[in-house]
Structure 1
Amino acid sequence: MARIDYDEDDSSDDTPRPQWRRRLVTWTLAAAGLGLGFLIPYTLYLNHEVGERFGQLRWQLPTRVYARPLELAPGLALDAATLKTELDAAAYREGDATRAGGYSRQGSRWTIASRGFNDVDGAVAPRRIEVVLSGGRVASLRDTAGGKRALKSARLDPARIATLYGQKQEERRLVRIEEVPELLVTGLQAVEDRDFGSHFGIDISGMARAAIKNVGAGRAKQGASTLTQQLARSGLLGIGQEQTFTRKGKEILYAMLIEARYDKRTILETYFNQVYLGQRGSQAIHGVSAGAEFWFGRDLRDLSTEQIALLIGIVRGPSYYDPRKHEARALERRNFVLGEMLETQLIDQAEHDRAAKAPLGISKTPGSTTANRFPAYVDLVRRQLARDYPADALAGAGLSVMSGMAPSAQANAEGAVARTLKGLESKRRPPLQAGLVVTDVHNGEVLAVVGSREFAEHGFNRAVEARRPVGSLLKPFVYLLALAQPEKYSLASWVDDSPVTVTLGGGKRWNPGNSDGRSHGSVRLIDALSQSYNQAMVRVGMQVDPERIADLIRTLAGIDTEARPSLILGALDQSPYAMAQLYQFLASGGEIQPLHAVRGVLDGNGRAVNRYDKDPAPAQEGDAIAARLITIALQQAVSQGTGRQLVADGLGRLSPAGKTGTSNDGRDSWFAGWTGDHLAVIWVGNDDNKTTGLYGATGAMRVWSAIFSRLPSAPLTVGDKGLDWQWTVGTGTTDAGCVGARRFAFVAGFAPAYTPCPAPQPVEMLDGEGEGVAGDPGRSGGGWREWFGFGRDDDQRDADPEADPARRTPPSAEDQ
């Protein structure tokens, strides 16, 4: 019996197996092997790249410069226009005081909802306050919570005035996910990525849903990329490049790797800080916080429903949906987003209908994301930070620089320069320029800087860099040294204003004259200063000694200069900033206050890492008295002397003190003046050093008047401590009823002896009823009386005739 073998199939030998199948399997396996061999290392490379570049996305931030916070307190000099300027600068919105960053007003009553912020002394909590203004002052200040409790003070968050970038011109303001409005978080996902919480970087169902909507609409209304893909595209691949299959594949891999490495919260937070939302010149706007300021001029927390919808809509194409250029297109996109919000029940029908009818709410000009709104002031900030922060360490470091700028003072200064110089223009006068500095007399903070009449343009900063002859601006400091010798000089001292000759080295002679070409005989020292008589000035200055004048200038302002006789009449080239530092000594009542534009620097977490706002040391008694005597004299210079036009301008209410200055041939016009709160030093002239025909009173003082006509400031008062006010006739004190008697302030203990009323004589020009101040420099010591050995009768010293500017040019002129 034959055996049947089931392991053999004779028929199979007759039917060969198809070769193409075998080849397909072979090539498929080979391709898969090659693909995996390439894909695995490439994926590892991309994973390393994601780790490095994703971290950079989250931490590279520009450094921002802020103005000083407005500190409100009962009694503060403040009017409605100034308060509105301050609020507008800090991007407060009018009409809604229920939410942070808003305010409302009813007559003189203002309700302000401040935002919380970090200052140099720590965190300042948000609060809702009520401010009542009356008579140009804060009449009352209350917290609206808890029965309107009265407050001693309250600080409002400051305006951002500049941004210091690194190499990339990107504006970005880091926010935590908790700081992003909930409607923005959920609304963005509703429009761009509804399955964000569940997908792994790419969303197949989302792609299908987007395709259906776009087909139904007949055009692309909804994208198919997830938020993670968008983040990979803009943050890791870079925006603005042509989309290719290779680039799309890389984007998908990036998205999947990001999802594998980071949690959803981190991804979403990074997206909100990275998303591209617009462009201004070379400056790219990144992140929702910067976008809110750029498009709406508002803090992110202050956005309305319709503004949030528009911001979400702009994400899809900031250029295509630019609401400033394509209003109709942007409106349609915004309303589409509102519809998505309604569909996903993020808003109800009533809110949808209200928001859909609302205007776009775009600010007319881009918000405070500009790189530098105040170039002259920021230039000063950079200079003062340079010793602690090299430029490359400061830019892009994510720091907060808290400056001393007062937006209202800056606005008034800029406006005053623009209006005044325009009014002074004429065909016979060369183009005028200006530089000025405004400071706080209480602490030395620089409140405003104008470096050019084109104050918004970058360029030469005349407030800091321009060095021009200061003229008679130095005269008060010569008399300051004289009055530090109360046994020899007082405001009532008689000084000789007759022709004077000063013998210089090498047998040279100097014969300065008065600007009016006249001599005035024997005049009181206070009148010689207030009328700016040169001949009397030179006589007193040579008695004081030019060497001491140079030493005083060096001590108070750090200015090194040669001690020449011509220094007495202002033969010194300096900037407005340097002269502001010098005059700060007088304006502060004798304190040595280093001027500073920077109050402090905060790190990325809001902690102070450097402070520059230290309280100055109290004035020494001798310094305070001499400074106050000069203040009294310069108040007379305003009320009756070279600055009397200020009284005609209505500024007598401030009782200001001030000094005009004019260089040779009217090339440079100066004015330095102060009130109870502010000092301003102003220069007006021509860059080509041509004659302008302007005196101090007709040029720079006009700018000062324009500033203080609008800037709220306290009147200047001088206390009585340490001064002895006496009625005087001739060389002695007398009774108030004597004919021709004038009232003068003497250092206590140094008033001349009493004499009975003399025979009737011509009445002198009456002085104001000034008030005075503290201490006895002749007996107490302290201050610069001891520094320079005042009270000695030293020999006069001649200046070097070869180096003396007085040999080459006529003496300084002065205003009449």
Structure 2
Amino acid sequence: MNLSRGFAFISMVLVIIILAGFVGLGIYTVRLDYIVRDKFEGKRWEIPAKVFARPLELFNGALVTPDNLKQELKLLNYKKTDNYESPGTYVDKGSMVYVHTRGFDFGDSTEPEQVLEITTDGQQVIDVRSTQQNGTGIARLEPILVGGIYPRHNEDRVLIQLPKVPQPLIDALIATEDRKFYNHHGVSLRGIARAMVSNMTGGPRQGGSTLTQQLVKNFYLSPERTLKRKANEALMALLVEMHYSKNDILEAYLNEVNLGQNGNYSINGFGLASQFYFGQPLNELKLPQMAFLVGLVKGPSLYNPWRNPKLALERRNVVLHNMLVTGRIDQQQYDDAIKTKLNVIKKPTIGQSLFPDFLDVVRRQLKEEYQEVDLTSEGLRIFTTLDPIVQTSANKAFDTTIKQLIKRNPKKLEGLQGAVTIANPENGEILAVVGGSGMFTGFNRALDAKRQVGSLLKPIVYFNALESQRYTLISPISDAPVSITGMGMKDWKPKNYDGQSHGTVPLNYALAHSYNLATVRLGWELGIPSFINTLHTLGIDEDIKPYPSILLGAVNLSPMQVLGMYQVYAANGFRYAPRSIRSVVDAKGNPLQRYGLNVRQSLDPGGVYLLNYALQQVMRSGTGASAYATLPSNLNLAGKSGTTNDARDSWFAGYSGNYVAVVWLGHDDNSPIGLTGSSGALPVWINVMKQLNLAPVEPVQPTDVQWQWIDQASGNLSAQGCPGATYIPMLASTVPGQATPCGMLHLYGSQEAPYGETELDENGQPVYQQYARRVPEPANTGEASINLELPPDPETGKPPVVRRFWSSE
């Protein structure tokens, strides 16, 4: 009886334990079910923000050379072919190029896939035809992917939708990884048994996991190899299959699977892997390329094509054989495919930025307006102002010239650094940024290297002088020694670079040759507060101490800040806030923000027009003259060199009609480099600019500016052909009211004054027979007058007599 009771008690305990186990398993299963559905139906991936360059715009008159176009296509990994049947291909026929574009969704608009017929004359586009109707007259290539702003886990991916995945890729994946995918319910007992037998008998190690189990392992679980993890994997695979269709599971797998590593960045999904290994979208891949990607699933490190090309090729051929034996391809397709090389690109770029210096500028601008979490997990698309052609040219020219300079003086210039910034003067868009030579380390010299700028600030002095209307471009100014005292400092006695003074020189000559003494005298007369005010007007927000030395550039600025200043000069006084971003679009294509033009008239157009002329003289006969040994003189370039004390910094800032560029060279430790602005930064600037398709400087002449022939000696009106005459722009209010005799003769001819006061000589003849027509009218008289300075009498040597003549004409 007692035995019977004991058996019943034990049975009851066992039942309770079993029931508890089922309850526990049920609760655990419910918990796993929640985990499965929460992630699968929620935000599955943290998608990095993608940063794109500007799209190349093609229209009649666009300054795009054939080489520019082909370089852009190369950066986009378009393939040169004999036909243009497929997207991502082009046919080169010299001045005519046929391009089959891929199309692109910009969020607010979509550029369709189309075939373009582009004709150039060597310097610009003269005709564009398209297979798609376009009311704008502008066709755009897709923008180049510059890089990404990555999630916390450094995972990168390009999401793909199953309907857009090429069928051969799906066939290769199913044939190789899970041939019963469409028949099982998440777990393959046969596959598990086969793997166990193979592993126990010493055969090839097999996993036995279905695609669903692989997805679960990558999606939810850690990579540890324990019985508990395998049990969780199987249970969660069953739950996934219970809730979601095979297509949902397959699409998630295609986007989740890890297919490589690029530095710190994980390459996830076939969409990104296609770009990473081949530089092409998935839908442009051929059968052997798709088979290679599927082969990576087994081990992207083992089958890395750059480290283990032989193993990678063998694995690709295994995938192709799997497709053959499962009937996905025929014998001919197989034979053709295995003869094909891997054809991976030489150097992967996805995962690391093509242009890290520029991307750093973008990142900093974004941080001012977005939270970091929004940038790294929302899948934003950021469309920037970067011009890849300009950036590539700047990188190449900078690196080449730096190496040449170091080679000439390796002892002093070893470790020479620098920066280049380039913008469009018409809108302030930053086109290229070089933050230094060598690997990008995070210290972006274009932004972070604030150094004294030297003579780059001298144009402010000369602008203030011209705008004051007390000076013209040829006004005589003294370049004699000067000493300034006061403001709590000892006597400051600046010197010219050559150690000499040059007497009295014309204003524009002093600027062209960068005379320090003349600049200091002129700036001191106009006032330090006026100088600082103009500096602030140009966009420099620094706290500037009112020391006289600032007239010679004793102000620390970055190359980007200098770029903003010279953009104002290049844009006739209009200041556009430098910007690196055009728009930001969310993952659904909705524009979040547009960065429109922020423009204001900062400097008087008349004064800037005169300053442009003076800066053009710097290039024609001054410190920038060596540029015209390489660049065409009809470009009318404008610019200014800058050198600091002990030749620690070498600067050059200048512009064509379509590019404003600034170059700085120096050592990071601020030690002397022995280079002036003309011998260091200018050669870099020249080599950058000669790579670009330049437009001439053609500033719009303001209404208050007149061009006049002026006698350089006296400053009076003259005429073409007269000795000492120069043709210069002037503010109308500064046009002189006197003329030289030669000027009067050429301008107005030799005529007797029809009226007015005419003095006669002893023979009854008029002493002077000219009268004025082009001089200001006296108030309320309707008449004009001019004082004529007569030459001395050639026989008696008597001093000239001033005669006044009137005319209402």
**Does the TM-score normalized on the shorter chain lie above 0.5?**
yes
Gaps of 5+ in 1: 1-20, 761-816
Q: Compared with structure 1, are the counterparts of its residues 559 and 37 closer, same or farther at alpha carbon in structure 2 (3 Å cutoff)?
A: closer
2:554 is the alignment partner of 1:567:
no
What does residue range 538-687 of structure 1 map to in structure 2 within 5 Å?
Answer: 538-560=520-542, 561-612=544-595, 614-617=596-599, 619=601, 623-687=604-668
Q: Compared with structure 1, are the counterparts of its residues 694 and 498 closer, same or farther at alpha carbon in structure 2 (3 Å cutoff)?
A: same
2:211 is the alignment partner of 1:227:
yes
Q: Which amino acid aligns with 1:135?
A: G
Match of 2:229 in 1: 247
2:28 is the alignment partner of 1:45:
no
Match of 2:458 in 1: 475
Alignment match of 2:240 (pick from 245, 248, 258): 258
Cα deviation code 1:545-582 (max 9, x no counterpart): 21111112112213231233222111111111111111
Query: Contact (CA 8 Å) 2:423, 2:431: kept in 1 or not?
Result: yes
Match of 2:158 in 1: 173
Partners of 1:39 and 1:262 in 2: how far apart? Answer: 22
What does residue range 206-217 of structure 1 map to in structure 2 within 5 Å?
Answer: none
Cα root mean square deviation, aligned: 3.0
- Between the two proteins, the alignment pairs up a number of residues equal to 731
2:141 is the alignment partner of 1:156:
yes
2:84 is the alignment partner of 1:84:
no
Query: Contact (CA 8 Å) 1:57, 1:270: kept in 2 or not?
Result: no
Partners of 1:31 and 1:332 in 2: how far apart? Answer: 53
Partners of 2:300 and 2:461 in 1: how far apart? Answer: 63
Partners of 2:164 and 2:471 in 1: how far apart? Answer: 65
Match of 1:707 in 2: 688
Cα deviation code 1:164-192 (max 9, x no counterpart): 12321111222222332232233322332
What does residue range 118-517 of structure 1 map to in structure 2 within 5 Å?
Answer: 118-119=105-106, 121-144=108-131, 152-204=137-189, 220=204, 224-239=208-223, 241-242=224-225, 244-370=226-352, 372-425=353-406, 426-430=409-413, 431-454=415-438, 456-486=439-469, 488-505=470-487, 508-517=490-499
Match of 2:773 in 1: none
Cα deviation code 1:94-127 (max 9, x no counterpart): 3363322232312232222222223375333232
Using the size of structure 1 for normalisation, the TM-score is 0.84
Partners of 2:684 and 2:578 in 1: how far apart? Answer: 22
Cα deviation code 1:790-814 (max 9, x no counterpart): xxxxxxxxxxxxxxxxxxxxxxxxx
Q: Which moved more, 1:176-185 or 1:653-662?
A: 176-185
**Does the residue aligned with 1:458 lie in a helix, a strand or coil?**
coil
Q: Which amino acid aligns with 1:449?
A: V
Q: Percent identity?
A: 38
Shift of 1:249: 2.1
Partners of 1:689 and 1:246 in 2: how far apart? Answer: 61
Alignment match of 1:72 (pick from 51, 58, 82): 58
Partners of 2:299 and 2:214 in 1: how far apart? Answer: 12
Query: Contact (CA 8 Å) 1:436, 1:463: kept in 2 or not?
Result: yes
Q: Which amino acid aligns with 1:361?
A: N
Query: Contact (CA 8 Å) 2:287, 2:337: kept in 1 or not?
Result: yes
**Does the residue aligned with 1:746 lie in a helix, a strand or coil?**
strand
Q: Compared with structure 1, are the counterparts of its residues 666 and 163 closer, same or farther at alpha carbon in structure 2 (3 Å cutoff)?
A: same
Q: Which moved more, 1:29-38 or 1:401-410?
A: 29-38
Q: Which moved more, 1:701-710 or 1:98-107?
A: 98-107
**Does the residue aligned with 1:110 lie in a helix, a strand or coil?**
strand
Shift of 1:654: 2.9
Shift of 1:157: 1.2
Partners of 1:512 and 1:328 in 2: how far apart? Answer: 69
Cα deviation code 1:292-335 (max 9, x no counterpart): 12221222222111111111121122123222222222222222
Q: Which amino acid aligns with 1:254?
A: M
Shift of 1:595: 0.3
Match of 2:747 in 1: none
Partners of 1:503 and 1:349 in 2: how far apart? Answer: 93
Shift of 1:758: 5.0
Query: Contact (CA 8 Å) 1:91, 1:159: kept in 2 or not?
Result: no
Q: Which moved more, 1:250-259 or 1:184-193?
A: 184-193
Partners of 2:14 and 2:698 in 1: how far apart? Answer: 96
Q: Compared with structure 1, are the counterparts of its residues 739 and 53 closer, same or farther at alpha carbon in structure 2 (3 Å cutoff)?
A: same
Shift of 1:444: 0.9
Cα deviation code 1:58-98 (max 9, x no counterpart): 23111222212122233333334433332233333333633
**Does the residue aligned with 2:295 lie in a helix, a strand or coil?**
helix
**Does the residue aligned with 2:24 lie in a helix, a strand or coil?**
helix
Q: Which moved more, 1:727-736 or 1:516-525?
A: 516-525
Partners of 2:380 and 2:78 in 1: how far apart? Answer: 23
Shift of 1:196: 2.7
Shift of 1:345: 4.6
Q: Which amino acid aligns with 1:700?
A: A
**Does the residue aligned with 1:59 lie in a helix, a strand or coil?**
coil
Alignment match of 2:45 (pick from 34, 59, 83): 59
Partners of 1:697 and 1:398 in 2: how far apart? Answer: 46
Partners of 1:507 and 1:339 in 2: how far apart? Answer: 86
Partners of 1:500 and 1:27 in 2: how far apart? Answer: 108
Q: Which amino acid aligns with 1:83?
A: L
2:85 is the alignment partner of 1:104:
no
Q: Which amino acid aligns with 2:57?
A: E
Q: Which amino acid aligns with 2:639?
A: G
Partners of 2:446 and 2:613 in 1: how far apart? Answer: 27
Match of 2:776 in 1: none
Using the size of structure 2 for normalisation, the TM-score is 0.84
Q: Which moved more, 1:413-422 or 1:578-587?
A: 413-422
Partners of 2:157 and 2:294 in 1: how far apart? Answer: 17
Q: Which moved more, 1:497-506 or 1:58-67?
A: 497-506
Query: Contact (CA 8 Å) 2:265, 2:351: kept in 1 or not?
Result: no
Partners of 1:308 and 1:507 in 2: how far apart? Answer: 74
Q: Which amino acid aligns with 2:671?
A: K
Partners of 1:504 and 1:392 in 2: how far apart? Answer: 54
Q: Which amino acid aligns with 1:397?
A: E
Cα deviation code 1:728-764 (max 9, x no counterpart): 113112110111211101124542235134599xxxx
**Does the residue aligned with 1:733 lie in a helix, a strand or coil?**
coil
Q: Which amino acid aligns with 1:604?
A: A
Query: Contact (CA 8 Å) 2:572, 2:700: kept in 1 or not?
Result: no
Query: Contact (CA 8 Å) 1:504, 1:510: kept in 2 or not?
Result: no
Q: Which moved more, 1:119-128 or 1:58-67?
A: 119-128
Partners of 1:261 and 1:585 in 2: how far apart? Answer: 62
Query: Contact (CA 8 Å) 1:54, 1:236: kept in 2 or not?
Result: no
Query: Contact (CA 8 Å) 2:452, 2:553: kept in 1 or not?
Result: yes
Cα deviation code 1:423-444 (max 9, x no counterpart): 1122441431102211111211
**Does the residue aligned with 1:670 lie in a helix, a strand or coil?**
strand
**Does the residue aligned with 1:448 lie in a helix, a strand or coil?**
strand
Shift of 1:686: 1.2
Q: Compared with structure 1, are the counterparts of its residues 654 and 758 closer, same or farther at alpha carbon in structure 2 (3 Å cutoff)?
A: closer
Q: Which amino acid aligns with 1:101?
A: G
Match of 1:94 in 2: 80
Match of 1:784 in 2: none
Q: Which amino acid aligns with 2:32?
A: L
Match of 1:746 in 2: 730
Q: Which amino acid aligns with 1:168?
A: H
Partners of 2:343 and 2:107 in 1: how far apart? Answer: 34
Match of 2:761 in 1: none
Q: Compared with structure 1, are the counterparts of its residues 465 and 206 closer, same or farther at alpha carbon in structure 2 (3 Å cutoff)?
A: same
